[in-house]
Structures are given as C-alpha cells and as structure tokens.
Amino acid sequence: MRSVGIRGLTAALLAVMVTSAAGALDLFVRSPRDGQVVFGEIDVEVEVLSAAPLVEITVSLDGEPTARLIAEPYRARINVGQDNRAHTFEITATNTDGETVTRRIVTGAIAVNDEVDLELQQLYVTVTHSGASVLDLDAAAFEVEDDNHRQTLVTFERGDVPLTAVLLVDSSHSMQGEALKSALAGAQAFVTSMAELDQAKVIVFSDRLLAATPFTGEPAAVSEGLAGVAASGGTAVHDHLYLALKELDGRQGRQVIVLLSDGIDGESVLDMVDVAWKAGRSPSLIYWIRPSSPNRTDTHYSIWRNAETSQRELDRLEHLVKTSGGRIREIEHIGQAPEAFREILRELREQYVLGYYPSLNRNDGAWHDVRVKVRAPGVRVRTRGGYVDDEL
C-alpha cells in the first residue's frame, strides 16, 4: 500500500480539499458529487492524501457498509437502485498512524412537481441495404407509428449504446464434446468483443440450469464461471428464456438475449405463450442462433407436447424473436457459433436507438403495434413489432 504524494495533485484539487485535524491525511471524493442525481450502478471514486501508508477506505451508502478499498485505484461500483431519491455516502480513510478522515456526500433527486405516467419507449432499429448496415441516417429519416399514430422522437442515438446481454447456451445431451466447446467459445467471443460498458451473463442450460456466470465484462470471469460444465440431459428452452428475461428486468441500457439452440423444447414447464407474455413487457431484443439440422423438417414430440403443439411452440419462438426486434441467425454447423455471436454483436453496435413517449399511453395491458419507416430507397428496417403497455 502506498500513499499519494502531494505533488501528484493538481492545484484545483488542492483548492477543494479539506484538511484533517492532524493535517497528514485527507481525501477527496471525485464521484459522486454533492447534489448529483444518481440511479443504478455508479462508480464511487476517491483520491487520498496521506503521509503514512493507507490502511483502508470504507464506503457506506445510506448507513449501510457497502465497499472496502485497500489499493489504488480507490474506486468501487455501487448500485444505488432506481428510486428517485437522495442518497448519503460516507467515505472514511484510515492510515497506519491511526488517523481517519470522513467525507459525506449527499446526492440529489429529480424535482417532481407532478408525476406523469409516461413510459419512454425505446426502439433499437437495424437498417440495411443489400445486406450491409446503413449507418449515416439522421433522426429526420425515421418515422415511428404506435398503433398507427405517428410519434414524435425525443431521443435519437446511433452506434454504440451500452448493452446488457444474457447469452443462453443450450447444452443438452446432443451437445456433448466438441459441440459444447464451440458453443461456449461463441459466448466467450461475444464477451471478449464487448465494449467497456457492456455486460453479459452466460447461462448454460439443458433440462436444468447447468452453469451461470454473473453479469460481467471480463472474459476471464466467463471462463471461470463455466469451467467444468458438461452437456447432459434434455432441453427446457422456454423456462430458461423466461429466466433470461427475468434476469434482465430492471437492468440499465440495451437489453439483449442471444439464444444458441435448435429451439426444440422437450421439458419446459412454461409454454411459449407464457414467455411471450413476459417478452411483450420487456424491451429485450432476442437473437436466436439456430444450428441447421438435417432433421429440421422432422416431426418433434415429447411426453409433454405432441407434434402439433411442438411445432406451434417452435413457430411461436420464431415469431417472438422477430417481434422483439432480433432475428434468427442460421448456422450450418456448431463450429460457426463464434462467428455468429460476433456478427450479432457487430449488428448491435450499428443500431439506431429511437425514443418516444407514446401519444396513446393507456396502461391497459394491451398490445401496441409499432412500425418504423425510413425515408431512404431500398433499405430494410428491423425493430420490435410492438409492446404491452402495462407496468410489471
């Protein structure tokens, strides 16, 4: 452990420092600032000035111990939740001379005079021309209709909006050996290629949850979380797709699910209509990497679903993927999984993000059809087909 020398601090920093009683230990909170409005995960970042080596820095949030920092950089990621309210941070530094100093930061809340129940609808739009992404459109090129009513765009972004993804890897018995290795390599390729603020969680499932990583941006954490997993058992796609949607509930940023599976569900307790119920209330984009199968046209059935129901469930899954704004990426063999994962990530980087407040917000649990038109010749547009407007 080492102290930070005074020479390393700028004059501006010194100007706002508060000197401790002994004068040999001080700290400065770079983030968050007093009065700043904070939601979700934020970084708490601290600079320290100490003559003696530092022992620790503790961070409490609203009276609860939350983090302990013992080495540079003195930074911790803390989730403050989504409530619009002030939070109190107390940050205490202690050095080997027994000196301590505490700083208190009180964040702010958005002043609300009248609460309006309006849900910002965000649409993630992929625009292509002859298979290539079209990346030079501006807001004026887009026209959004919600239940056939034209909407006013209030936000427009292009390119790299941070994403939070769940990568669902079907690892039933048929994926034993090299197939599972390729599938996991695909998930790993996705995480490795993510941008700095992106996060992903990998879920490996069969008829049960076989392994899951935390949400992370670190490829090493994925390797560690999936070590030793082996393919076995049947398949429960619906249940784990629902789990992925649930994992993304309330998460910040663009929500994405990538499913790698043939989609044939043998043993789920939930039906696709249940998953669709949830997906209609979620902004998640669902992508489906589907290995081609020589038996694709075969009739599938299980003890739980007859052939007719199984086919209907597969059709519903296809429909769900398309309605979410994602797509089905066919691969000829499982060895192409890494490239498919990377391709999907590239596509996500090239999306437009349109935001609007629906003019006919009803909160009645009904489905709203959404259509996006682009004023450009020969382009293809893909985005979610609609949403359910009730609150979960």
Interaction site with another protein (CB under 8 A): 207-212, 229-230, 232-234, 236, 239, 242-243, 246-247, 249-250, 266-270, 274, 277-278, 301-307, 309, 391-392
DSSP letters, 16-43, are: H----SSSSEEEEEEESPTT-B--SEEE
Q: Which is nearer to another protein, 146 or 239 (CB)?
A: 239
DSSP letters, 275-299, are: HHHHHTT---EEEEEEE--TTTTS-
Q: Which is nearer to another protein, 238 or 329 (CB)?
A: 238
Q: Which is nearer to another protein, 146 or 247 (CB)?
A: 247
Q: Whole-number minimum distance, CB 312 to another protein, in Å?
A: 13
d(CA 385, CA 371): 7
- With H, G, I as helix, E, B as strand and everything else as coil, classify residue 255: strand
Q: Whole-number minimum distance, CB 307 to another protein, in Å?
A: 7
Q: Whole-number minimum distance, CB 212 to another protein, in Å?
A: 6
Q: Whole-number minimum distance, CB 92 to another protein, in Å?
A: 30
Q: How far is CA 20 from the centre of its chain?
A: 42
- With H, G, I as helix, E, B as strand and everything else as coil, classify residue 134: coil
Q: Which is nearer to another protein, 352 or 387 (CB)?
A: 387
Structure tokens at 191: 């995480």
Q: Which is nearer to another protein, 74 or 242 (CB)?
A: 242
Q: Which is nearer to another protein, 278 or 368 (CB)?
A: 278
Angle, vertex CA 70, rays to CA 65 and CA 75, nearest 5? 70
How many alpha carbons lie under 13 Å from residue 339 in its C-beta half-sphere?
8
Q: How far is CA 247 from CA 4, 161, 208, 240, in A?
A: 40, 20, 16, 10
